């Protein structure tokens, strides 16, 4: 099913990703999502023999993610960029800031239902800030922020999504999806 829009975005700080487990803080709502771009990058190595392509191997490199929001609040900047909330208001950036690993959870519309998705491990980079003068009319200038996602150490997953049109989609998905980061289990073989 093709995606026809995006409705909600949540961010969850990752607190553990190793051989013993994968854990996250409770997801935090990022209001006003306009766009979510997910672009996986792969590397393919080709082996030629006898004047033809003999074999090939493809590996996942990373996943470029961009998010356009109506606004990126000071608290949100502190959450995803590792910046510091100032006592006087606002947020400040320093050269020692370290963006934490986060998971992204989203709800998108599809024909006849919804897609619920999660990206498991990524870190955001500093956004570009621009301001343009009004030239006889108001032009909204909204922020865009980029991240690089990767597979988790714990289980190698980088993405999971389920459509409400899927036969095994939980009936209560709308009320449970954003309460915690969902880690799916394989369906048993018959």
List the chain domain ranges.
3-44+60-179
How far apart are the C-alpha atoms of 90 and 88, rounded to whole Å? 7
Residue 186 has pLDDT above 90, yes or no: no
Which has more pLDDT, 143 or 11? Answer: 11
Q: Residue 95: what are its φ and ψ, rounded to 5°? A: -70, -10
**pLDDT score recorded for residue 2:** 85
Coil, strand, or helix at residue 31? coil
Contact between 126 and 50 (Cβ < 8 Å): no
Contact between 108 and 119 (Cβ < 8 Å): no
Tokens 């289990």 locate to 185
Contact between 63 and 119 (Cβ < 8 Å): yes
30 closest CA partner among 97, 64, 91, 77:
77
**167-177 mean pLDDT:** 93
Coil, strand, or helix at residue 41? strand
How far apart are the C-alpha atoms of 12 and 10, rounded to whole Å? 7
Burial class (CB in 10 A: 0-12, 13-18, 19+), 144: middle
How far apart are the C-alpha atoms of 177 and 106, rounded to whole Å? 9
**153-172 mean pLDDT:** 94
**pLDDT score recorded for residue 37:** 95
Q: What is the pLDDT of residues 29-80, one digit of tens each?
A: 999 999 999 999 999 999 999 999 999 999 999 999 999 999 999 999 999 9
pLDDT band at 187 (very low <50, low <70, confident <90, very high): confident
Q: Name the pTM for this structure.
A: 0.90
């Amino acid at each position: 099913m093709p995606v026809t829009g995006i409705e909600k975005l949540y961010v969850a700080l990752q607190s553990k990703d190793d051989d013993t487990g994968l854990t996250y803080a409770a997801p935090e709502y990022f209001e006003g999502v306009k766009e979510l771009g997910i672009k996986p990058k792969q590397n393919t190595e080709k082996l030629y023999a006898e004047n033809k392509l003999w074999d090939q191997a493809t590996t996942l490199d990373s996943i470029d993610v961009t998010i356009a929001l109506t606004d990126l609040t000071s608290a949100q900047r502190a959450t995803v960029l590792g910046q510091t909330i100032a006592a006087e208001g606002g947020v400040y950036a320093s050269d020692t800031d370290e963006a934490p690993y986060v998971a992204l959870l989203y709800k998108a519309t599809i024909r006849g239902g919804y897609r619920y998705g999660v990206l498991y491990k990524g870190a955001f980079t500093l956004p570009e800030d621009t301001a343009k003068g009004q030239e006889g009319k108001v032009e909204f200038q909204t922020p865009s922020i980029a991240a690089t996602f990767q597979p988790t150490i714990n289980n190698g997953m980088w993405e999971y999504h389920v459509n409400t049109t899927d036969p095994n989609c939980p009936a209560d998905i709308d009320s449970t999806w954003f309460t915690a980061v969902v880690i799916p289990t394989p369906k048993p073989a018959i």
